[in-house]
Amino acid sequence: MKIAIHRNPATIGDHLAARILAELRTANAAGRPYVLGCPGGRSPMPVYVALERQLAAAPVDCSNLVIAMMDEYLLSGPAGFSLPPSSAHYSCRGFGQREIVGRINSALPDAMHLPDVNFIMPAIAAPEAYDAQLAALGGIDLFLLASGAGDGHIAFNPPGSARDSRSRIVTLAEQTRRDNLATFPDFQGLDEVPTHGLTIGIGSIASLSKSVAMIVWGEGKREAFRRLATATTYDPSWPATIAIECQNVELHADTAARTEP
């Protein structure tokens, strides 16, 4: 795994946004989709902010860009599971629409707006079909990944997830839910955090990604950095270590997260 240490989260964002736009230009020239795997939450936000800024300065045609989200919370009710409204503060779908697609669209001239059809995520009715959908697009060109601070969850895959797991509905680990109290501070307590979610699988990430950028920053991610920097194979007790088994993987951290292996 290539490890890159940056001064701060903003420089991580600048570096990866520049890479994404360069690769998107190449995809545009070839007339093919460019699939960007995106988590929600704090870790990738510097990338999304930098994309907006760089696109405003030098617009790029985003009609071939496909935003592929990793996961979504599920609400439980008498009729089974349902998606939260995209307006909910914790909705991953809403996050993607506001913080990724919204930022890209706001930076571009009207004629270059990203079509809604290019925003995809797993579906409740057949979550496993997400893998086939991504494969049909040629795989994920660059998957931005993040590690849970307390238990190493990746997307909503809890500790103990099988190496070959595919996109599916999961029960969220309690530590994952506690981590997300910080990710979504409008939660008033653990009881408000949903207990289930849709997630791309561990095996899905490994088999469908052409390249991976794992992002960890801040003092709270020091254990995540240590676990990822020293991993030699997938460790189900820290699911984010699947990154080590992906193609063309890079670990991007800031100086606050870096620990000596």
pLDDT, residue 116, reads 55
**Could you tell me the fold of the domain covering 2-237?**
Rossmann fold (3.40.50)
Kindly tell me if the per-residue pLDDT of 115 is higher than 70: no
- Give the DSSP letter string of the chain: -EEEEESSHHHHHHHHHHHHHHHHHHHHHHT--EEEEE--SSTTHHHHHHHHHHHHHS----TTEEEEE-EEEEEEETTEEEPPPTTSTT-HHHHIIIIIIHHHHHHS-GGGPPPGGGEE---SS-TTHHHHHHHHTTSBSEEEEE--TTT--BTTBPTT--TT--SEEEEPPHHHHHHHHHHSTT--SGGGS-SEEEE--HHHHHHHBS-EEEEE-SGGGHHHHHHHHH-SS--TTSGGGGGGGSSSEEEEEETTT----
pTM of the model: 0.95
- What digits encode the pLDDT tens for the residues 1-56? 999 999 999 999 999 999 999 999 999 999 999 999 999 999 999 999 999 999 99
The structural domains of the chain, with segments of one domain joined by +, span 2-237
- What digits encode the pLDDT tens for the residues 204-247? 999 999 999 999 999 999 999 999 999 999 999 999 999 999 99
pLDDT, residue 113, reads 72
- What digits encode the pLDDT tens for the residues 121-178? 999 999 999 999 999 999 999 999 999 998 999 999 999 999 999 999 999 989 889 9
